[in-house]
């Protein structure tokens, strides 16, 4: 084996080691980015869950206020009580 072949083989081995180091570094970076993305997704899911609960609570409060307001109007209006009775009877028949 001549000196040129030995230098070529040495450079080839050196290049292989450098490529492996670069691949390992890229893999570590990719894993770190993936982990960060997973944390962001989990945070977004938690935020969305809280938003859904807030919307449900707001809807419940809104429905309670509407019901109280409608009941107050019904109490003042005899015709409204008659209509409400018809609506209640229709609901009972449906279920």
CB 73 within 8 A of CB 80: yes
CB 74 within 8 A of CB 80: yes
DSSP 8-state symbol, 2? -
Distance CA 81, CA 74 (A): 5
Tell me the pLDDT of the chain (95 aa) as tens digits: 688 788 888 888 889 899 999 999 999 999 999 999 999 999 999 999 999 999 999 998 888 888 777 666 656 665 666 777 788 888 777 75
Q: Where are the domains of the chain?
A: 3-94
Q: What angle do helix axes 78-94 and 3-76 make, rounded to 10 degrees?
A: 130
């Amino acid at each position: 084996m001549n000196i040129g072949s030995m230098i070529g083989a040495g450079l080839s081995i050196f290049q292989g080691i450098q490529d492996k180091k670069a691949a390992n570094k890229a893999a570590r970076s990719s894993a770190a980015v993936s982990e960060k993305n997973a944390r962001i997704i989990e945070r977004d899911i938690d935020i969305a869950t809280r938003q859904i609960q807030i919307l449900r609570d707001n809807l419940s409060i809104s429905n309670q206020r509407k019901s109280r307001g409608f009941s107050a109007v019904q109490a003042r209006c005899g015709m409204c009580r008659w209509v409400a009775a018809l609506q209640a009877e229709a609901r009972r028949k449906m279920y």
